[in-house]
Amino acid sequence: MEPIPPREREQVRELAKKVMELACSPSMLEKSERWTRHNAGQPTEPLIYWEAVGLLDDCLPPPACQHPLAAMVERHMVECIAHAEEIRDDYVVPAVCPVPFFPGAGHINLAIPRRTAADSQGRHLGYTQDHPIKDLARDWPGFAPAPRRPAGEVMDAARRQAAEIDDLLGGIMPAIPQNHSLIWSLGLTGHLVGLMGMEAMFVALIETPDLLRKALSDLVDIMLEALHEQEREGVLTLNNRHQYAGSGSLGWSDQLPSAGFRPDRVRLRDLWGNLNSQETVGVDPSAFEEHFLPHYRRLAEPFGLVYWGCCEPVHALWNHGLRDLPGLRKVSISPWCDEAFMGEALRGSGQVYARKPSPNFVGVGPYHEDKFEDHLRATMVAARGCALEISFRDIQTLCGDPSRARRAVEATRRMAAKHWR
């Protein structure tokens, strides 16, 4: 790789100094303490997090660096600054530069061809898949786990990159490898639908439920073996601080790592697990409890704490076994969820009400703050007495108005002050 130009090196270091100043400020310490109490299930003031992917370029200055490594570090720095100065949410700016790496998380050895289509801005967000499992009885038997590069090699590469970033930053802050392979890899039914398609999964649930359960069990076997392989190879990294730990959530916790932790050997029980089953939203709750939930229980059991859910409405599953999922600490309350029901279920439970407001109010068409406040008011009333967090997710554009992010955060704080207490 070509050397980083001196101008870009200086640009990144100046940004890093500003980020380090933010990270060491009293306000960040106060936020981290609030997140820690909150993630223990103790109601604090509602916490607000704007997921970085929703920042996009609407809230960020044009990139100044062209060198790939400098550009990557620059992006991290400007996102941190945007959280603190433009968005003004409760994100805790870290005093480190994370270096993501991705050991294989466990899949079967079947390619899933994907075709994408560009939107009006040239982004390839939409896609369709060519599912390789056409007939479960015929195509499933005889599969094998996908070959994986040894996890230790992947971590060693991340360590080398971290050393390069350390040199780039000149001692201003450390670069730390972080294993990101578990962030979105535990959505069991998402993997199955990628292999066979949603319609085929629903038909199998009716016509060949035993084969469907066998397929789910096999997938869990492969996923768990990959998880335990990472544990054995010592490539897991903690996610109990600023790390992403759940669907639009942060991992701050003094309950992780678990008892018996050794810094040189992170175990699954020292981590948050992030599970969801969006693809079964049309499955009868009793059928989900019988055919799908036992496999999710197996996935949840190794972890210290568990975040459940993404866009699926959880209220229908709550009394069908979901509330007893091992380690369950946070529950995603999506725009399609019965908020009042879940507020009653979670109030006083020690579990977190992790609300996702509808992205339509901020990211589609004109911003009508009064309508958005009405939407938030319903949440605050439903979640009174709960440990409440608000995660802004799936906002793909701010329609050219960067101020919307800050205004939405401010509106959330106003509604919390008026209606949550």
The predicted structure's pLDDT at residue 255: 97
Pick from 106-110, 119-123, 179-183, 358-362: least confident: 106-110
- Candidates 290, 349, 400, 341; CA nearest to 40 is 349
Question: Cα 341 from chain centroid?
Answer: 24
pLDDT band at 54; cut points 50, 70, 90: low
Average pLDDT over residues 113-121: 82
Beta strands 305-308 and 328-333 are: parallel
Per-residue pLDDT, 58 = 82
d(CA 332, CA 334): 6
| pLDDT surpassing 80 at residue 105 | no
Measure the CA–CA gap between 73 and 170, rounded to whole angstroms: 13
C-alpha–C-alpha distance, residues 92 and 57, integer Å: 21
* pLDDT tens, residue by residue, 221-257: 999 999 999 999 999 999 999 999 999 999 999 999 9
The amino acid at 232:
R
Residue 19 in 3-state DSSP? helix
pLDDT > 80? residue 189: yes
Predicted local distance difference test score (pLDDT) of residue 123 = 75
Cis peptide before 257 (omega within 30 of 0): yes
